[in-house]
Amino acid sequence: MTLRLSTARLLPSALAAAMFVAAAGSAAAATHPKPKAKPHPVARKAAESSEPAMTTDANGRSVPVLANKAWVLMDFNTGQILASSNADEPLPPASLTKMMTSYLVEQGLKSGKLKPTEMVTMSLSAWCKGGKEGDSCMFVPLNSQASLMDMLRGVVIDSGNDASKALAEHIGGSESGFAALMNAEAAKVGMTHTHFENSAGLPDPNHKASARDLALLAQAIIRNSAEYYPIYAEHEFTYNGIKQGNRNALLYTDPTVDGLKTGHTEEAGYCLTASAKRNGMRLISVIMNANSAQARADQTRVLFNWGYANFEEATPVKDGATLATAKVTYGVLPTVAVGVPQAWTLVVPKGQGGSVQTAVTLNPNLEAPIARGAVIGKVVATANGKPLGETPVVALAAVERAGFFQRLGQRISGLFSK
């Protein structure tokens, strides 16, 4: 969030109050040093948006028209992009950057490399100095320490630039060292249109991320940091006597929304990555460069309502089910059962879950040995003649290579069968 204050130096407590009001979407400075957390004003209006404008996409579907630079709606379970606009355009992500900062902390905790109670120092370079436009702060005093878990909450809930920088220095040795870790992890996640220069999302010409990439990062957080993901739904966090509210307005108005992160700078506009779960189906949305905090909340609500109204999950192939029998040459067995390693679920247009059909295509000239789990073809799902998706099929058992005389017999038999 952008915080506009006078250039006069403020004490940390006064800046904390101003920061909290800014979190509610206000640009005015606050006068109370220890405000109580409460829903943002935008949260009280988030459910009042009018029906969105619609257009027709390349698949003939009616999709929302949103006033921003880029957006994505993804199904969490399958990773399918249900709809998008400029999904791969690298844009300034503002504090959506902090999802990678928190993810690296969470993965460090998960692996045991980091401990929840270890102390993190607030250095001069990380400290919120006050009076600086754009500062979102946890307000850890200079040269003091906070536990790693408190710092993590300071990043996720308070969107603290100070907490992000302090954690970066603690883990990476320096912010540039941590940025290298961020970019390495981004490559592992599959973020191909993203480059990080800092841990907080402060403006930099080379600091960019795409909406699709941020959806992939949110998917990784939910899937790989399940123990810590509930933090993203916490409404408030108090540190050093200062209580701040979560900036994700939808947490206050939509009980199905349980994360993830807001962002705002003048260059990036208003951004929001959010996730909702309804009737067992989880969707992830990313909004980039909306024109207000109200707009990013409204647009996210539009995407979720549209997604849940128009799509459902279907499981056309069950775990362990035999889809086909493949012929194998030179094996101790002449055939092998073919299936998928785990149940295959995909997202289909609403009402088409019961009409999904599958067709298996096998690789030609399969020859032993074949390992159990080896990919030997694919299965394609369709509904009403339209392709829905495809996934590899594998050998459900191993087939060892036959001995010399058995192979010779198969070769001779094959000659006479032609």
Active site residue 159: yes
CA atoms of 289 and 268, how far apart (whole Å) = 5
Q: What percent of the chain has pLDDT over 70?
A: 82
Residue 309 is given by DSSP the state H
Q: Which pLDDT value is given to residue 121?
A: 98
Read off the pLDDT of each residue in 45-56 and give the average, rounded to a whole number.
63
Average pLDDT, the chain: 85
Q: Which pLDDT value is given to residue 304?
A: 97
pLDDT tier for residue 415 given thresholds of 50, 70 and 90: low
Decide whether 12-312 matches 318-417 in CATH topology.
no
* 415 token code pair: 């000659």
CA atoms of 380 and 4, how far apart (whole Å) = 54
pLDDT tops 50 at residue 384: yes
Q: For 203-235, what is each residue's pLDDT tens digit?
A: 999 999 999 999 999 999 999 999 999 999 999
Q: Dihedral of the CA atoms 166, 151, 91, 259 (nearest 10)? A: 170
Q: Which pLDDT value is given to residue 311?
A: 94
Q: Which pLDDT value is given to residue 29?
A: 32
Active site residue 318: no
Top-confidence residue, 116 or 49: 116
HSE-up (13 A, CA, CB side) for residue 63: 17
Q: What percent of the chain has pLDDT over 90?
A: 68
CB atoms near residue 408 (< 10 Å): 12
Q: For 76-102, what is each residue's pLDDT tens digit?
A: 999 999 999 999 999 999 999 999 999
Q: For 358-378, what is each residue's pLDDT tens digit?
A: 999 999 999 889 999 999 999
Top-confidence residue, 125 or 406: 125
pLDDT tops 50 at residue 30: no
Select which of 69, 98, 165, 261 is catalytic.
98
Domains of the chain by residue range = 12-312, 318-417
Q: Which pLDDT value is given to residue 21?
A: 33
Query: 3.30.1330.40, 3.90.79.10, 2.130.10.10, 3.40.710.10: which CATH number matches 12-312?
Result: 3.40.710.10
Cross-strand bridge partners of residue 278: 281
Select which of 159, 199, 210, 225 is catalytic.
159
Q: For 294-341, what is each residue's pLDDT tens digit?
A: 999 999 999 999 999 999 999 888 887 899 999 998 888 999 999 998
Q: Which pLDDT value is given to residue 61?
A: 78
* pTM score: 0.80
Active site residue 95: yes
- Cβ atoms of 229 and 251 within 8 Å: the answer is no
Residue 292 is given by DSSP the state S
* 354 token code pair: 């019961």
Nearest to 242 by CA among 142, 168, 157, 170: 157
pLDDT tier for residue 37 given thresholds of 50, 70 and 90: very low
CB atoms near residue 3 (< 10 Å): 21
- Cβ atoms of 12 and 143 within 8 Å: the answer is no
Q: Which CATH superfamily is domain 318-417 in?
A: D-Ala-D-Ala carboxypeptidase, C-terminal domain (2.60.410.10)
Top-confidence residue, 176 or 57: 176
